[in-house]
């Protein structure tokens, strides 16, 4: 994706999956004011059809849809490697609901009803995260060994198995740990810096994502040598 000024256009395309017609009209009007071309779907089936025609940069996803739970689409897209930003908009706004949404692969979770000012602010924050700083593809992590490299433009990391494309949250977690090579990073720090939590819930989010990284990068995920858990302290990356 080419770099652009978020002030000019937050996203080049969006898909809104919402079955409440009045709310759908209001949200699409708000997105139009922001200059974001938007496709609309009222069911998961229609959403999948739209995404077969064109993958959006931004997916706005309701949870309670006529043909199922919206988070099933979220999980499905992440498994397939979808790297766009996903914002869940749901009346289910309790802490366990928000944590489940983030664990499923959403980048942010906004409970309904919401203020339009906050909606805009959330989109702006997602756009800033979606547009990586321009770097050279051969950006090498550390100087001792050229095996591990980070490509921020394509959200991919090269390890012992070669280049691996990651979801935005997988990439952010891996990059955070790799940059802190050799140092222990606490669970609390990761929840704040990677997921943006201000109040820290009791969740296995970090462990679940770390398990994904091990399956992608470790020769033996059950006996990792790179992405390590330091019992009672946090997590550490080693070459």
The C-alpha atoms of residue 221 and residue 225 are separated, in whole angstroms, by 9
Cis amide prior to 233 (ω within 30 degrees)? no
Of 72, 131, 89, 108, the C-alpha closest to 195 is 108
What digits encode the pLDDT tens for the residues 187-218?
A: 999 988 888 776 666 678 898 899 999 999 99
Residue 42 scores a pLDDT above 90: yes
Catalogue all structural domains in the chain, each as residue range(s) with its CATH number. Answer: 14-130 (3.40.50.2300), 149-237 (1.10.10.10)
Q: What's the mean pLDDT in 141-168?
A: 75
What average pLDDT does range 139-158 have in this prediction?
Answer: 67
pLDDT above 50 (res 238) = yes
Measure the CA–CA gap between 184 and 228, rounded to whole angstroms. 9
Res. 228: pLDDT tops 70? yes
Dist CA 209 CA 225 (whole Å)? 16
> Tell me: the pLDDT tens digits for 15-30?
999 999 999 999 999 9
- Residue 131 binned pLDDT confidence (cut-offs 50, 70, 90): low
| Residue 101: closest CA among 130, 63, 132 | 63
Query: Burial of 210 by CB count in 10 Å (0-12 exposed, 13-18 middle, 19+ buried)?
Result: buried
What global pTM score does this model have? 0.58
Read off the tokens for 105. Answer: 């692969």
**Cα–Cα distance, 211 to 227 (Å, whole number):** 9
pLDDT band at 41 (very low <50, low <70, confident <90, very high): very high
pLDDT score of 135: 40
pLDDT of residue 154: 83
């Amino acid at each position: 994706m080419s770099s652009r000024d978020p002030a000019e256009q937050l996203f080049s395309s969006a898909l809104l999956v919402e079955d409440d017609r009045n709310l759908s009209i209001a949200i699409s009007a708000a997105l139009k004011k922001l200059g974001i071309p938007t496709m609309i779907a009222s069911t998961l089936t229609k959403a999948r059809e739209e995404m077969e025609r064109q993958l959006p940069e931004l997916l706005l996803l309701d949870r309670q849809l006529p043909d199922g739970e919206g988070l099933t689409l979220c999980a499905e897209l992440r498994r397939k490697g979808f790297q766009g930003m996903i914002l869940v908009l749901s009346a289910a706004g309790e802490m366990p609901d928000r944590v489940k949404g983030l664990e499923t692969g959403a980048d942010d979770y906004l409970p309904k009803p919401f203020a339009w000012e906050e909606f805009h602010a959330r989109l702006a924050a997602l756009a800033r995260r979606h547009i990586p700083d321009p770097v050279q593809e051969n950006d090498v992590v550390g100087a001792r060994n050229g095996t591990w490299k980070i490509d921020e433009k394509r959200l991919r990391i090269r390890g012992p198995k070669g280049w691996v494309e990651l979801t935005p949250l997988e990439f952010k977690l891996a990059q955070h740990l790799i940059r802190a090579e050799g140092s222990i990073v606490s669970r609390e720090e990761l929840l704040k810096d990677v997921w943006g939590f201000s109040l820290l819930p009791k969740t296995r989010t970090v462990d679940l994502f770390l398990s994904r990284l091990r399956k992608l990068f470790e020769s033996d995920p059950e006996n990792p040598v790179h992405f390590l858990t330091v019992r009672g302290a946090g997590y550490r990356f080693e070459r």
